[in-house]
A and B are shown apart, each in its own frame.
Chain A
Amino acid sequence: EVQLVESGGGLVQPGRSLRLACRGSGYTFGNYAMTWVRQAPGKGLEWVGYIRNKGYGGPIEYAASVKGRFTISRDDSKNIAYLDMNSLRIEDTGMYYCTRDSGTTGPAASEVWGQGTMVTVSS
């Protein structure tokens, strides 16, 4: 069974950092691009960023709202994608989902979703 499991969420103060992890299983993790999507409480979906699989290379893409503060990376030997979040703001609060992206040269459809991990930024 193809599965994504996020971890690392929690309560953090504004200005601090947090690292989220997303472990994939049931498929060849390194063959697929990954995307992070977030959802503020009671709100819609917001794209965070995208990382291609190593075979295609290319830049990591970020939403304007997180560019310069968030960093996406991956460790294919561990089947894990990471989202490093720095200088966190209250408006970063929400559920963070990792997804397996069907796109290779750029973001496309998120065909598999994790269950999400909640991040709360509050003093």
Chain B
Amino acid sequence: SYELTQPLSVSVALGQTARITCGGNNIGRKDVHWYQQRPGQAPALVIYRDVNRPSGIPERFSGSNSGNTATLTISGAQPGDEADYYCQVWDSSVIFGGGTKLTVL
């Protein structure tokens, strides 16, 4: 079955750029969606179909997808960006990555 690999944790200094990766076999051929889950809250969509931001999501959030890696980039990281981030694809079933905890230092 298809698997998505995310780092368990990523740390970023306040105001700097965080990159969260999502690895999968030929993931560049799939649509990747990204979710943010703040502590105690439901997840929220932050990027869909690799690069698209839903309304209300700051431009600081961007996505890319090529080869075997999709990446969520958060520019100018803020304290409110501290959360768990999950990638998701469809491969005969919906697959979520294991999640990455982002810490803003």
| Chain A residues within 8 Å of B, Cβ to Cβ | 35, 37, 44-47, 50, 61, 63-64, 97, 102, 106-111, 113-116
Contact = CB atoms under 8 A, between A and B. Distances in A.
B43 interface: yes
Given A61-B93, A109-B48, A97 B43 contact: yes
A108 B43 contact: no
23 contacts: A35-B94, A37-B43, A44-B86, A44-B98, A44-B99, A47-B93, A61-B93, A63-B93, A63-B94, A97-B43, A106-B90, A107-B94, A108-B49, A108-B90, A110-B33, A110-B35, A110-B45, A110-B88, A111-B45, A111-B54, A113-B42, A113-B44, A115-B42
Contacts of B84: 44
Interface of B: 31, 33, 35, 37, 42-45, 48-49, 54, 84, 86, 88, 90, 93-99
Contacts, number: 58
A63 B35 CA distance: 20
Nearest to B48: A109
A108 B31 contact: yes
Contact of B99 (A45, A110, A114): A45
A49 to B, nearest CB: 9
Contacts of B54: 111
